[in-house]
Every structure is written in structure tokens, then in C-alpha cells.
Amino acid sequence: MPNEREVREARTFASYLGSPSFPSEISDRYRQAIADWRSGPPDRFDAWLVRFAATSPAFTALADSYARVARPYGDLRRRLTLMLALLETHGATHGVYDRARPSSAAAAWLALAGAGTMWALRSVLAALICAPAHLLLGAKSSRQSA
């Protein structure tokens, strides 16, 4: 059921990106765009990372933290970029993204520090989980292509 899997994946990614709702057009566009990209079998680690990320928004956060460093232009980052583009453009969801978050300077700096700390902790956890899979699947890919 690849369609169902992709719809679930799209919904998970939308939730991870903070969308308040998930209009069906976004799901359709998401699947269509991904189908347009496909030109061959995906890299094994990329494919694992996407499957892992699609499990839940919390796992997406971990996979994305790792992908930002290890696969900045890989499949997961592309999928998340696509989803963000769709969410910020759709009439029902754009409001979350088309704005600043005004506050006092102190509150803003505090929020930035908090976000930075969470990111650092998440990155460490992400490395502990994703790096072994990266080593294992990366090695398998190398053996297969040799």
C-alpha cells in the first residue's frame, strides 16, 4: 500500500513542521512531486531514514537532526522542504509560516537559547540512533555496488 504509506508519511511530516491541519490537496501534491523525482532505486540509508522519520513526529525530529549534518541534500531533507513549501502556500495552513513571532528581545533570546539547547540534545540522541544504521547500510550499499 505505497499510497497509504505516503499519506501517513506526509501527515507525520506536516505535523512535525507545526501545521495546524492537513488538507487533502497537500497529500496529493506531495505524492505527485515525489513520484516525479524517482529515477532509480533509492540509496539504502536514505530510504531507511525516510521510513524511520515517518514513524512519528518525534522520530522525524531525530532523523532530520541527523540528516541536516549527514545528508543535507538527501531524500528526507528534500521531502521536508517540499512539505514545508506546500504548507506555507496552502490557504488553510500558510498563516503559521507567513509571520514573525514578535516578543520582547529578552523573551526572544531566551526562546532561541531553549531551541538551541533542545537541538543540541536531539542531535546527540539522533547520532546515537542513526549513525550505526548509517554505517551498516552505507557499508552494505558499498558492497552491493562493488
- Interface residue list for another protein (CB under 8 A): 16-18, 25-26, 29, 32-33, 36, 61, 64-65, 67-68, 72-73, 77-78, 80-82, 84-86, 88-91, 94-95, 97-105, 107-109, 111-112, 115-116, 118-119, 122-123
CB of 144 to another protein, least distance (A): 26
CB of 116 to another protein, least distance (A): 8
Nearer to another protein, 112 or 139 (CB): 112
The single residue listed with the C-alpha cell 536514505 is 46
Q: Measured between alpha carbons, how far is 52 from 29 in angstroms, rounded to an integer?
A: 22
Alpha helices in 1-146 (DSSP H): 2-16, 24-37, 44-53, 57-70, 75-89, 105-145
Nearer to another protein, 8 or 97 (CB): 97
CB of 146 to another protein, least distance (A): 26
Q: Measured between alpha carbons, how far is 80 from 75 in angstroms, rounded to an integer?
A: 9
CB of 30 to another protein, least distance (A): 8
| Phi and psi torsions of 20, nearest 5° | -75, -20
C-alpha cell at 64: 532530520
